[in-house]
Chain A
Amino acid sequence: MKVNNELVVMASKGDKNAFSDLYYSCYKDLYKFALYSVGDADSAADVVSDTFVEIWKGIGKLRDPNSFCPWAFRILSTKCKKEISEIIKRRGTYNLDDLIETPSMDLDNIEEDIAESASLSAALSKLDGDERMMIILSVLHGYTNREIADMMGKPQGTVSSKLHRTYAKLREMLGGENNG
C-alpha cells in the first residue's frame, strides 16, 4: 500500500479533503486485507469503516507520515482479530467463500482458474487468523518480518517462526499441485 505523505500530513492537521483522498486511495488495500482476514465481505467493509474512524480520530497524533501504513494495518489487524472471534461465535466456523466470488477474466482457462482459486482459498481458510495476516502482509504488501512484528505486536522471532511454519502448512496443502 502506497500513500502520499503530504496527504497524511495534511490530514493529521485536520484537513478533511486530504483525509478523504487518503481514504479513497487506501480503501482497496485495507478492504482486501480485511476480507482475507475475516472471510466475509460485509464484515470486512464494516471493519474497514471502523478502522478509518479510528484513523481519523488518531491521525493528529501521528508524528511520522511514513508510519501511516503500518499504523493503519495495526489498527485494522486488531479489529479483524476481534471480528474473527465474533464470526466464529456466530457461525461456529468461518471460511473464505467471499474470496472466490469473482472468477478469473481469462475465459479460456476459467475452470482451471476457478479450481485453483478454490484450492488457494481453502488453504488460506485453514490457516489461523495471525498466520493469514502475516502471509498477506508479507506477500501482498511486502513488509519485512520486523515490520510485521511491529504491526502485530509480536516479537520478530515469533513472526519468522510463524511464517516459516505457515509456509510449511501451505506447502503441505498446496504442494501436490505445485509439484505436479
Chain B
Amino acid sequence: MAEHEDFSFEHEFAEKLKAFDENIKIPEIPDAQSIFDKAEKPKTKVIPFKKYSRYAAAAAAVVLIAVGLPIMAGALSGEIGLDNMAAQEFAVEEPMAYPDAETFADQVNDRSDIVAEVEKDSDGFREEDDEPVAEYYPSYASSSVSEDEKVYEPQEGVSLKSVLYKYFVNNSVNNPVTGGNGYDDLRTVEEELNKKRRIEITVEEDSVSVVLYDTSSGDEIINAFWVEGHYEGSYFDGKYYVINLYNPVSQEDIENDCYLPMAGDANGVYTIPEKTVLIPEKITEGAIYLFVEVDAATGEYNIYANLV
C-alpha cells in the first residue's frame, strides 16, 4: 500500500514538475560566437590566496623574530634598541642561522619559485578539471533513455527470476560483474559518526557485517546485522549511514534459486524479499545493487535493492 502511494506521488510530482518546467522562460540565447571567443581568450592565472598567504605569514613570522628577538634580548640585558651593535648582528644573523627560519626565509625570498609553483598547481588543477571529463565516458553505452526505461516497474505480473532469466538467455552472459576485484580480503572499517555513535563494518568475501555502537554508554551494541553483497562504499549524511553493496547474479544462480541476497540479524537469517527489488526495463549487468540505511540515532536499518 505504502509502495503504491510512493509510486503515485512520484508520478504526480513528475507530471507537475514537467508542466512547471514548460512555463520556464528561456532568455535570448547568446550568439555561439561568444563561446568561441571566450574559449580563445587567454587564461589569466589566479594565484590562490590561501596558499600564498601561508608564505606571507611565514615571512611575517621571520621578520617578527628578526626584529622582536633582539629587542627582547636588548631589553633583558638592559641595552634597549637597535643601536647596540650586538643586537644589530643578532637581528641580521641569528634568525638566518636557525635552520627552520632559514628554510622559511628561502621560501619567502625566492618569490619567483613560489609564483612558478602556484602557477604549476593552477595548471595542474585546470588539467584535472578539464581533461578527465572529456574522457570520462569513453564507452558509455547510451545517453538518452526513454521515459519507460527510466521508471522502475512495480513487480506485479512479472517475476524477478523470469526477468533475470530472460536477460541471461538474450545476452548470453554469465556472471558479468564477478571476479578478481580484490573483495576477498577481510577488512574492517570503523568510523566515529558523532560523539555518541561509532560504526564498524567488516567486509568478508561476499558479505558485510555492520555493528553500531553507542559510545556514550560504554560501547553498548544498539544493532548488528549482516548483508550478502560486495562492499562498494559507504557514507554518513548526519542522520543515516548508507552502505552500498552489489550482488552479482549468474544464470546458474537463477537456476538454483539463489539469486536473491540474504541478510541476517538477531532475529535470524532471511532472504531479501523479491517484491522489494526494483526492476528496470533494461538490465545491463545482471547484478542486484543494495543500499542499506542505518539510522545512527536508533540503529534501525532498511535494505533497498535495485536490479541493474
Task: Name A's B-contacting residues (CB within 8 A).
Answer: 1-2, 16, 19-20, 23-24, 27-28, 31-32, 35, 41, 45, 49-50, 52-54, 56-64, 66-71, 74-75, 78, 99, 101-105, 116-117, 120-121, 135, 138-140, 142-147, 150, 155-158, 160-161, 164-165, 167, 170-171, 174-175, 178
Contacts and interface: CB of A to CB of B under 8 A. Distances in A.
A133 to B, nearest CB: 13
A63 B135 CA distance: 8
B26 A139 contact: no
Contact of B26 (A32, A57, A62): A32
Contacts of A143: 145, 150
Query: What's the dominant secondary structure at chain A's contact region?
Result: helix
B136 interface: yes
B150 A157 contact: no
Interface string B171-184: 00000000000000
B53 interface: no
B134 interface: yes
B12 A117 contact: no
A20 B10 CA distance: 36
Given A105-B23, A142-B150, A158 B142 contact: no
A104 B23 contact: yes
Nearest to B292: A157
Interface string B5-17: 0100110111011
Contact of B13 (A99, A146, A157, A170): A170
Interface in B34-82: 34-36, 38-39
A157 B35 contact: no
17 contacts: A23-B32, A52-B35, A64-B138, A101-B25, A102-B24, A104-B23, A117-B23, A140-B18, A143-B145, A144-B280, A150-B137, A157-B289, A158-B291, A161-B242, A165-B240, A171-B13, A178-B9
A71 B280 CA distance: 23
Interface in B289-308: 289-291, 293, 304, 306, 308
B13 A174 contact: yes
Interface size class of B (residues with CB under 8 A): 35 or more
Interface string B78-93: 0000000000000000
A112 B99 CA distance: 74
Most buried by A among B30, B245, B291: B291
B156 interface: no
Instruction: State the 10 A-B residue pairs at the shortest beta-carbon distance, nearest first.
Output: A157-B244, A67-B137, A157-B291, A67-B140, A58-B134, A20-B32, A61-B134, A69-B143, A102-B25, A142-B150
Nearest to A42: B27
Contacts of A155: 232-233, 244
A135 B29 CA distance: 25
B21 interface: yes
B144 A69 contact: yes
Contact of A120 (B17, B136, B242, B289): B17
B256 interface: no
Contacts of B131: 58, 61
